[in-house]
Amino acid sequence: MIYLNGKFMPIEEACIPVLDRGFIFGDGIYEVIPAYSRKPFRLPKHLNRLQHSLDGIRLKNPFSNDEWKNLLEQVIAKSDAEDQYLYLHITRGVAKRDHAFPVNVPPTVFIMSNPLLPPPAELLASGASAITAIDNRWIRCDVKAISLLPNVLLRQLAVDVHALETILIRDGFLTEGAASNIFVVKNGVLLAPPKSNLMLPGITYDVVLELAAANKIPHEIREITEAEVRTADEILLTSSTKEIMPIASLDNQPVGQGKPGPLFARLHALYQDYKA
């Protein structure tokens, strides 16, 4: 069952008018929230980021955090899987096509849940492959906007060559992945690009940095050059749906030893404990 504008219904019955501004302009934002054993993971952080995205597009939050929590719990209860990921989507509603914001139009609110499967064990054991590309997105990548055409095109570059992700470089520096955050390990130090308008402030990114701090893993938040990405000992990818994954090849070259490294193993184990 999905939630759409105040009602629960099977997804096959859910319909959006063609004049919805999400459809016409990509005028909306979204969130992806994992739920382990039917409990939303880091819900207050996700709701904070939802508010940041809404503020970024000047759209009023239709619900209080308690109302969101209640709705999400209902969606979780109506879904079969123990581990799920919730997709929340809010658009500026339905109005005659005009770029200017419509007045007094209710937003469209959609929530669905899908089973959350851990990344395949073989991929965690062997490491995934990634490619690089120039980050050609807009400069409000901190807003989780539904207008994802650049991300879609960038991710497809990876899919075309059977790689998992496209790692983005802007003006010679690492930003993030097409749908993930990226960390680099160099000489035993975990390096993370600083949050800015050029990347999505990942909730999993925060978890990894907190785990590093709590477990005395050397880490540094600073700009990472393209050259540092190319000569990394390890590259790690994080997202709510992929958790933490090792990248073992980049642009067809091995990363470090060409297999998952010790910091990946450590952080992956810590993450599994933390989410349990």
Question: Toward ligand PDD, which CB reaches closer, 79 or 180?
Answer: 180
CA dist 116 → 70, 201, 274 (Å):
20, 21, 17
CA dist 165 → 7, 155, 203, 217 (Å):
36, 6, 18, 26
* Least distance between ligand PDD and beta carbon 6 (Å): 25
* Least distance between ligand PDD and beta carbon 157 (Å): 15
Distance CA 107, CA 214 (A): 41
- Catalytic residue (choose from 69, 144, 186, 195): 144
Question: Toward ligand PDD, which CB reaches closer, 108 or 181?
Answer: 181
Question: Toward ligand PDD, which CB reaches closer, 54 or 95?
Answer: 54
* Least distance between ligand PDD and beta carbon 45 (Å): 8
Asked if 146 and 30 count as a contact pair (C-beta separation under 8 A), the reply is yes
Question: Toward ligand PDD, which CB reaches closer, 167 or 200?
Answer: 200
* Least distance between ligand PDD and beta carbon 147 (Å): 12
CA dist 253 → 62, 104, 163, 258 (Å):
47, 54, 12, 8
Distance CA 67, CA 46 (A): 14
144 is catalytic: yes
Q: Hey, is 148 helix, strand or coil?
A: coil
Tell me which residues touch ligand PDD (CB under 6 A): 32, 151, 176, 179-181, 200, 202-205, 238-241
Catalytic residues: 144
